[in-house]
Amino acid sequence: MPYDFDLFVIGGGSGGTRCARIAASYGARVGIAEERFWGGTCVNVGCVPKKLMVQAAEYASWAEDARGFGWDIARGGHDWAGFIASKDHEITRLQAIYKSMLQKAGAREFEAHVRFIDPHTLDVGGQRVTAERIVIATGSTPNKADIPGADLAGITDDLFYLPRRPDRIVIIGGGYSAVEFASIFRGLGSEVHLVYRQPLPLRGFDGDLREALAEAMAAEGIHLHHGLVPTHIMAEGPTGDERRVHLSDTTDILADFVVLTTGRVPNVTGLDLEASGVALNAGGAVQVDRGSRTNVPHIYAIGDVTDRLNLTPWATAEGHALADTLFGNNPREVSPENVPTAVFSVPPLATVGLSEEDAAQLGPVDIYVTRFTPMRHTLTGRKSRRALMKLVVDQRSQRVLGAHMLGEDAAEIMQGLGIAVRMGATKQDFDRTIGIHPTAAEEFVTMRTRTRVAGVAEAAE
């Protein structure tokens, strides 16, 4: 039976558009549907506007720090509405680029909700469409923890469109979004309270990095409430616009805005997946193998809806590999190992490979750590910008298993180190590399003295 499309992609975010565009460029007849905004979370309510907000926040400290270099820059106020308008203008431009790239590649776009009628048939905004192969790329959505009064709190999507900057904000959660928005609002001048249930933010990241981040955030004036969860949130004030967050230690915080950054859930609601036969895993994500294949042979899933590595570059890499495999005569899979990642806190942190804690489970590791004040801040005196760099090295093979950094430009530096770690570089390869002086990055190739040994053979040494 001839199908309307060779490939139909559900979701016009980073992963979906890449897959559709590449497949169409190989000559496949491709349809793609997006029901909310082209570019998905990353472009509209994620990476892109978040990074612009981080940059907006950084200017305040730069204006202050310039004094250390002889400048007399008066720090004026921040025009929130003006900034949001500029940010929105840029997002609209990017949305249009996403759409035009699809059009140029020859894909047909639909602005519609999609649901399955049967494994090859979709309802696309009321229109019946058939496809030989289907890709589910519907992303994820912020998930509010189940707390009494949660409806009085916002989600991260809301933070991009607030009519004014809250003077006092409570951020609940200790993940990527929590620390990024804590830095953003602090930089813009808000009183910020970060409430998280672990002893340190960013569970799963390297312990030294987490500690250094908490120190830096505290030095920036962010109020850290660790080991606590909110018990309930209440409305207060003459107009009911204020929020009081009650915590598990019986203290409370009064704020103008509360945001729950308590994770994300895969977007599968409303897809009528039962009609497709596609199976979900216990966490409610679409279950796939390393080739993005679901249990139904012609249906695939990529990106956040599969809840593995919820990172834009991972989703685009998966989408691209899938299009190459299906239509480009180049079957390939993307490796989830050694994926570099960054958290755009202020200062930012970035990491590739294994944390000390995870590596130590596998065997003895040599640990190299350095902490220092970056050159700029020897003159500014800003204490919160001390940098930390760390290498986790397998003792037997001397392979660098993990590289971690907290400090300015961490994300920019880690991208290159990601190549070295992925290629299996050893500590001696790092040592043989000549530094670029004077930079912070050169520390990664000049750490000569082992800080400690960790891992299972530690006691034997």
Q: Which chain residues interact with ligand NDP by CB under 6 A?
A: 145, 173-178, 180, 196-198, 203, 229, 261-264, 310-311, 341-344
263 vs 291, beta carbon nearer ligand NDP: 263
| Interatomic CA distance for residues 352 and 291, integer angstroms | 23
196 vs 327, beta carbon nearer ligand NDP: 196
| Cβ-Cβ contacts under 8 Å for 146 (sequence gap 6 or more) | none
| Interatomic CA distance for residues 441 and 414, integer angstroms | 9
Tokens standing for residue 368: 């190299």
343 vs 360, beta carbon nearer ligand NDP: 343
222 vs 342, beta carbon nearer ligand NDP: 342
CB of 400 to ligand NDP, least distance (A): 22
Query: Is the distance from CB of 34 to CB of 11 less than 8 angstroms?
Result: yes
| Cβ-Cβ contacts under 8 Å for 437 (sequence gap 6 or more) | none
367 vs 411, beta carbon nearer ligand NDP: 411
* CA 404 vs CA 246, 360, 420: distances in Å: 35, 15, 13
Of 32, 55, 48, 133, the closest CA to residue 93 belongs to: 48
437 counts as catalytic: yes
Which residue is closest to ligand NDP by CB? 175
CB of 152 to ligand NDP, least distance (A): 16
CB of 138 to ligand NDP, least distance (A): 15
- Helix axis angle, 80-105 to 14-25, nearest 10°: 30
Q: What is the 3-state secondary structure (H, E, C) of 364-397?
A: CEEEEEEEECCHHHHHHCCHHHCEEEEEEEECCC
CA torsion angle for 451, 455, 459, 461 (degrees, to 10)? -60
CB of 6 to ligand NDP, least distance (A): 31
248 vs 330, beta carbon nearer ligand NDP: 248
The residue from 89, 193, 320, 437 that is catalytic is 437
Helical segments of 26-79, H only: 40-45, 47-65
CB of 305 to ligand NDP, least distance (A): 13
| Cβ-Cβ contacts under 8 Å for 250 (sequence gap 6 or more) | none
CB of 251 to ligand NDP, least distance (A): 16
The residues annotated with a catalytic role in the active site are 437
